[in-house]
A = this chain, B = another copy of it.
Amino acid sequence: MRQALHRITIATRGRGLVAVGEPICAWTEAQGIATGLLTIWCRHTSASLLVQENADPDVRADLEAFFERLVPEGDFYRHDSEGADDMPAHIRAALTQTQLSIPVEGGRPLLGIWQGIYLFEHRRAPHRRELALHLLGD
């Protein structure tokens, strides 16, 4: 049994979902670990992780619209020194995932056929986001 640790940086274009499955799966497969557990950790509090359907781009648009309605910008937040989009970003991150751990089989994360892994950028401005990847197995 052995483990590997890695970090990847993702450039976002502002609010919205960015597919990150490809670099994550490529790194996982390159470790030569057939069976194990892959953990993805998002090192931010205004961006998060999401597993969603990878087929129809409308799913991503509907998700973003839902979170706009659920957590609107407005003058009812105390924490606003970094901009009107900052506190809603923290709340959206709290409602989604900071971490995912996926069983690995045959060297690949055991995602369902329709499952894609996304980084959900919650700020309006583009950011560079760091994900820590941890793989354990044999």
Report if A78 contacts B (CB, 8 A): yes
* Number of residues from A at the complex interface, CB < 8 A: 61
Most buried by B among A61, A100, A130, A132: A132
**In whole angstroms, what is the CA distance A53 to B93 when docked?**
10
- The answer on a CB contact under 8 Å between B99 and A100 is yes
Tell me what chain A mostly uses at the interface: helix, strand, loop, or mixed.
mixed
* A90 partner, pick from B1, B53, B76, beta carbons under 8 A: B53
B-contacting 9-mer, from A8-16, A20-28, A31-39: A31-39
Residue pair A45, B94 in contact (C-beta under 8 Å): no
Interchain CB contact under 8 A, B79 and A58: yes
